Amino acid sequence: MRILVVEDDREAAAYLVKGLKEHGHVVDHAGDGAVGLEMALGGPYDVLIVDRMLPGRDGLSLVNALREVSDATPVLFLSALGDVDDRVRGLRAGGDDYLPKPYSFAELLARIDALMRRRNPDQVKTRLVVGDLVMDLLSRKVKRGDTVIDLQPREFRLLEYLMKHAGQVVTRTMLLENVWEYHFDPQTNVIDVHISRLRSKIDKSFPSPLLHTIRGAGYTIRAAA
């Protein structure tokens, strides 16, 4: 999912952004409330993670401004202001959840998943299946048949994107933008290298391939005929 982190503490923001990306999310960062509001309005984002104390515009004001224009993007407040009154103010300002600092990253991820389930209870997929290849997005485990497949974070994101577009041709530009977050061609073979590694893990030891190269167009993953 696409997440906007609004946090002015550079070290805290870097830790949060890195962790979310390692778990397969596309993450943008704003270092103050005014920029955060502008980016949120320009979205779309699936979730906003907002600090309470921000330069430019505080977190409560940011969320109030979003709600005033009927922007219902789920907001998780992540703040050192963690007593009961602070949490109540955050929720009454339009926040959907409130997690005091310091926090457990596992709990943060669970709360993000819960926000998405509440927002789209019939649309959130936690399990992707293509033929006998199964990806569990909650446990981040991948199996083909009875074989557990160990993937690096970038390989997981690549496979997740392909499986979410199963049967469709996925272009190199789509992969660069959605898996690597590049909005330009880096003129490297990074996609070829990762596709090769992924193919060796999900196809090499199995009788029928799932991942196919569409010459001149891109790649597709589909169940064996």
Task: Tell me the two tokens of residue 121.
Answer: 């209870």
Q: What phi and psi values does residue 46 have, to the nearest 5 degrees?
A: -85, -35
Name the domain boundary from 87, 119, 151.
119
User: Count of domains in the chain?
Assistant: 2
DSSP bridge partners of 127: 136
Residue-wise pLDDT tens digits, 169-186: 999 888 988 888 777 777
- Lowest-confidence range among 92-96, 124-128, 148-152, 221-225? 124-128
Using CA atoms, how far apart are residues 108 and 1, in angstroms rounded to an integer?
A: 14
* 114 and 149 in a common domain: no
* 67 and 42 in a common domain: yes
Quick check: 106 pLDDT over 90?
A: no
Contact 116, 146 (CB under 8 A): no
109-128 average pLDDT score: 75
Structure confidence at residue 124 (pLDDT):
55
Residue-wise pLDDT tens digits, 58-76: 999 999 999 998 888 999 9
Domain interval for residue 193 = 127-221
Name the domain boundary from 90, 119, 148.
119
Structure confidence at residue 5 (pLDDT):
96
* 190 and 106 in a common domain: no
* 151 and 64 in a common domain: no
Instruction: Bin 218: left if φ > 0, else alpha if -120 < ψ < 50, else beta.
Output: left
Runs of H (alpha helix) within the chain: 10-22, 33-42, 59-68, 84-92, 105-119, 153-164, 172-178, 190-202
Contact 197, 155 (CB under 8 A): yes
Structure confidence at residue 141 (pLDDT):
92
Averaged pLDDT of the chain: 89
